[in-house]
Amino acid sequence: MRIIVCLKQVPDTNEVRINQETGTLIRDGVPSIMNPDDKNALEEALKIKDECGAELIAVSMGPPQAKDVLKEALAMGADEGVLISDRAFGGSDTWATATIISAAIEKIGNYDIVFCGRQAIDGDTAQVGPEIAEFLNVPQVTYVKDVKVKGDKLEVVRYTEYGEYVFEASTPVLLTAIKELNNPRYPAIKGIIEAYGDKGEEKIRVFGINDLNVDPTQIGLKGSPTNVYKSFVPVKNKVSEIIEGKSSKDKAITIVMKLSELNLI
Ligand SMILES: Cc1cc2nc3c(=O)[nH]c(=O)nc-3n(C[C@H](O)[C@H](O)[C@H](O)COP(=O)(O)OP(=O)(O)OC[C@H]3O[C@@H](n4cnc5c(N)ncnc54)[C@H](O)[C@@H]3O)c2cc1C
């Protein structure tokens, strides 16, 4: 079995700041991490590898520093990394990003499962996984909270606010992981030493625009069908009030009176 896991390097969200004049993210000095849902996708792929044997290839599209998430994946147990990086890819929206990542996946070839996270904590659209599935023309199951390999098929549990759905999926298939899927492992010391040394470097291939079968008019800022009109952090203007009272009943009465004064009940 061959599993490809898509990992996005994202800024640590607690640290995200926006340049109020340009509306762009301030990335300087902001620590980067592997997108949390992607770590769950990676962990599940590693579990399948541990239980059934599989070749696991981690893929990330981004600037050269995105290699760090691939090294982290190697340290956790991935066999190989592919960094998709080229100036021509800059400014890509989700459509163009998925176009480029699916071209890379097609170049890697012979995959059984493509694993993505449900959503990236910076872009937050949850579009890239489903778009990759469409471009590759493979079925998809999103919001996955459990996967079992059953012969040449998968039993996949999809979690929604209304309940759980159990699907039987044939491969190749694209799955998007949610945090309920598992608890990602910590890499072993040996894995860390190898991944961040020469061995790790040798295991990472870099794909640029000339390596991929993509139409240059469909990628980058110019090839993106959507554009960001404005980015801003919403101003928080919530005012909290602690309701005092001798008993719960007194407090409840006060709350009801206040809500009634505001015509809310
Ligand atoms: C007009 C426009 C211009 C943009 N310009 C830039 C820019 O210049 N620089 C920039 O950094 N961003 C830019 N973006 C944002 C960029 O398009 C998104 O970050 C990217 O498409 C991923 O979307 P998302 O974050 O919503 O991911 P989601 O759709 O929420 O991610 C779902 C899953 O897809 C996979 N995935 C997503 N992105 C990647 C990736 N890069 N590598 C591997 N796996 C991935 C992961 O498994 C992830 O969990 C731009 C967006 C628009 C609309």
Q: Where are the domains of the chain?
A: 2-218
Whole-angstrom distance, CA of residue 255 vs CA of residue 253 = 5
Weakest-pLDDT range from 102-111, 139-148, 195-204, 239-248: 239-248
Whole-angstrom distance, CA of residue 1 vs CA of residue 46 = 12
Residue labelled with tokens 């949850």 = 126
84, pLDDT greater than 70: yes
Q: Is residue 141 within 6 Å of ligand 1 at its C-beta?
A: no
Complete DSSP assignment for 120-174: -TTT----HHHHHHHHHT--EEEEEEEEEEETTEEEEEEEETTEEEEEEEESSEE
Q: Identify whether the C-beta of residue 113 lies closer than 8 Å to the C-beta of residue 175.
A: yes
Whole-angstrom distance, CA of residue 144 vs CA of residue 117 = 9
The overall average pLDDT reported for the chain is 93
Ligand 1 center–CA 150 separation, angstroms: 33
Q: Is residue 61 within 6 Å of ligand 1 at its C-beta?
A: yes
Cis peptide before 184 (omega within 30 of 0): no
Ligand 1 center–CA 9 separation, angstroms: 10
Whole-angstrom distance, CA of residue 152 vs CA of residue 78 = 22
Residue 15, pLDDT score: 61
107, pLDDT greater than 90: yes
Weakest-pLDDT range from 70-79, 109-118, 148-157, 219-228: 219-228
pTM (two decimals):
0.87
The larger pLDDT score, comparing residue 231 to residue 121, is at 121
**2-218: CATH architecture:** 3-Layer(aba) Sandwich (3.40)
Ligand 1 center–CA 202 separation, angstroms: 26
Q: Is residue 92 within 6 Å of ligand 1 at its C-beta?
A: yes
